[in-house]
Amino acid sequence: MHSPMPSLQPCPKRASDDIVRTAVRMGTFVTIHVVGPAAAHKSEAHSPMLREEAVEGAFAWFDRVEECCTRFDSGSEVMRLAAQAGVPVPVSTLLYQAVQFALAVAEESGGAFDPTVGHAMETRGFNREYRSGRQIRSALDRGAPVSYRDVRLDPERKTITLLRPLVIDLGAVAKGLAVDLAARELSPFENFAINAGGDLYLGGRNPDSEPWSIGIRHPRSDADLIEAVRVSNRAVCTSGDYEKRSADGGHHILDPRTGASANGVASVTVIAPTAMLADALATAAFVLGPAEGIQLFDRLGVNGLIFSVPSFSTDCVAPDLPVLTRYATQAMHEYL
């Protein structure tokens, strides 16, 4: 219904009421889609202008999160924090909550997800500064191993103390967080979608008044979908081994516990109440592997799919698509 070819779309009326905006944020394309009011049962309060304003406000959250959490600007809050190891640093609510959440995931995943070893590994797409291509390498003592246990939070004074010089990498949290904040900005509207480079939050229903239908990219073929899920008021995030962005062209996801390549997982998709959680858990499951990853999802009450490859063909993009093994959480069938 948003296709440029109206002839294929029998209901152009709905499309004209929808607001769809795409912009570049956080190194990727962000699309915000607010479904127009469904004729009768929507109040006039949601005028097109109000909706436009809300969409603007939603985009603004992406800017704010990026400003705060980027490792690629020495003036960002997270980098100013990195420059002050050993002392309690008062931080903004945004940074405090983001770090607290990242540490909680680290704890929960037994260190499989660790925001403090981020500068040594390439976990998610666009780890190079997407705007300059520079490799960000801080002048830290790279010999000393650090972990999430080297970060202390003071919940009363809202300070963060880095026990050792380290850089907190919120890469696997920040984009999801921005999506969630944007979703909250759009909460006056029943039906909307936010797509930040394949990390999504789907509010309500799609323009056909059905749950949103989300395709999951095939990890071995950019042009195909491996699965499709139906969701409403949920975030869907996918992390794949095809996200090869490290400068040396090597495998992009390392196990923070061993420093070795995390093999065996081709892609992880998580369906969770928030994108921040989905994004972080997808990264964690990548390291944990299919069996432990699914266990983690079940324990947390989120759902997910993991596609794994036989270890011998992990780095091989063969002309024939390798056979992928599919793992799913117990309640995953609810979304299929």
For other proteins, the binding residues in 212-271 under the rule CB under 8 A are 212-217, 219, 222-225, 228, 236-238, 240, 242-243, 245, 267, 269
Nearer to other proteins, 262 or 276 (CB): 276
* 137, 71 contact by CB (below 8 A): no
Q: With both helix axes pointing from N to C terminus, report the angle between 93-108 and 171-185 in degrees, rounded to the nearest 10.
A: 120
Q: How far is CA 60 from its chain centroid? A: 17
Least distance in angstroms from the C-beta of 144 to other proteins: 22
The length of the chain is: 336
- β-strand 28-34 against 19-25: which pairing, if any? antiparallel
Nearer to other proteins, 120 or 174 (CB): 174
Q: How far is the C-alpha of 42 from the C-alpha of 23, rounded, in Å?
A: 28
How many chain residues bind other proteins (CB under 8 A)?
Answer: 91
* 3, 207 contact by CB (below 8 A): no
Report the site for other proteins in 290-309 (rule: CB under 8 A).
299-302
Report the site for other proteins in 36-55 (rule: CB under 8 A).
53
Residue keyed to tokens 């323009």: 207
* 76, 83 contact by CB (below 8 A): no
- β-strand 159-162 against 234-240: which pairing, if any? unpaired
Least distance in angstroms from the C-beta of 258 to other proteins: 24
Token duo for residue 110: 């037994």
Piece in contact with other proteins (CB under 8 A), picked from 40-48, 138-146, 160-168, 191-199: 191-199
Nearer to other proteins, 53 or 259 (CB): 53
Piece in contact with other proteins (CB under 8 A), picked from 36-44, 113-121, 122-130, 254-262: 122-130
For residue 83, state whether it binds other proteins (rule: CB under 8 A): yes
Residue keyed to tokens 């090597």: 250
Tell me the CA distances in angstroms from 253 to 26, 108, 335, one per residue in order. 20, 19, 28
Report the site for other proteins in 134-153 (rule: CB under 8 A).
153
Nearer to other proteins, 210 or 259 (CB): 210
Percentage helix, strand, coil for the chain under 3-state DSSP, each rounded to 5: 30, 25, 45
* 150, 116 contact by CB (below 8 A): yes
Nearer to other proteins, 24 or 259 (CB): 24
Q: How far is the C-alpha of 243 from the C-alpha of 117, rounded, in Å?
A: 18
| Residue selected from 3, 43, 258, 311 as contacting other proteins according to rule CB under 8 A | 3
For residue 66, state whether it binds other proteins (rule: CB under 8 A): no
Nearer to other proteins, 64 or 259 (CB): 64
For residue 177, state whether it binds other proteins (rule: CB under 8 A): yes
Least distance in angstroms from the C-beta of 331 to other proteins: 14
| Residue selected from 38, 42, 46, 60 as contacting other proteins according to rule CB under 8 A | 60
Least distance in angstroms from the C-beta of 60 to other proteins: 4
Nearer to other proteins, 243 or 255 (CB): 243
For residue 11, state whether it binds other proteins (rule: CB under 8 A): no
